[in-house]
């Protein structure tokens, strides 16, 4: 079945890099996404990667995909206090584009 797992919590110091990890089970995923949710707000798409790519870089964000191990990571360089939020990994299916979300990783950035 479809399942996406993430660690629940990550704490980093301001200026350090953050790495949020995600594993998924469905090898037929076409796209893998990272969403950010700030308190009381909706889901903001940060970035996504097509399943035939290994890496995607977008400013401070780097996404790494290991398709063999079904492992996805999001690296945030020079983490700022404004990056404190919950980060959701999600896999998208080609047929319907419905998203299967992980449970979210709460990132706390300490000054």
Residues in contact with other proteins by the rule CB under 8 A: 31, 35, 41-45, 48, 50, 88, 90, 92, 96-104
Find where tokens 């110091």 sit.
13
Least gap, CB of 14 to other proteins (angstroms): 27
Least gap, CB of 45 to other proteins (angstroms): 6
CB nearer other proteins, residue 24 or residue 79: 24
CB nearer other proteins, residue 45 or residue 108: 45
CB nearer other proteins, residue 34 or residue 83: 34
- Pull the structure tokens for residue 60: 């401070």
Least gap, CB of 61 to other proteins (angstroms): 15
- Residue 82 has φ and ψ, to the nearest 5°, of -70, -10
Least gap, CB of 76 to other proteins (angstroms): 20
Task: For residue 105, give every residue at least 6 positions away whose Cβ sits within 8 Å of its Cβ, in sequence order, or none.
Answer: 6, 7, 8, 9, 10, 20, 21, 86, 87, 88
For residues 31 and 39, the answer to whether their CB atoms sit within 8 Å is no
CB nearer other proteins, residue 79 or residue 86: 86
Interatomic CA distance for residues 63 and 37, integer angstroms: 18
């Amino acid at each position: 079945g479809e399942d996406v797992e993430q660690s629940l919590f990550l704490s980093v110091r301001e200026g350090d890099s953050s790495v949020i990890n995600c594993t998924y089970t469905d090898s037929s995923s076409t796209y893998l996404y990272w969403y950010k949710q700030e308190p009381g707000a909706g889901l903001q798409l940060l970035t996504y990667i097509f399943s035939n790519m290994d890496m995607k870089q977008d400013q401070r964000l780097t996404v790494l995909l290991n398709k063999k191990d079904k492992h996805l990571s999001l690296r945030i360089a020079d983490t700022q206090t404004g990056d404190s939020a919950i980060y959701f990994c999600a896999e998208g299916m080609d047929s319907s584009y419905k998203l299967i979300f992980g449970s979210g990783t709460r990132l706390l950035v300490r000054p």
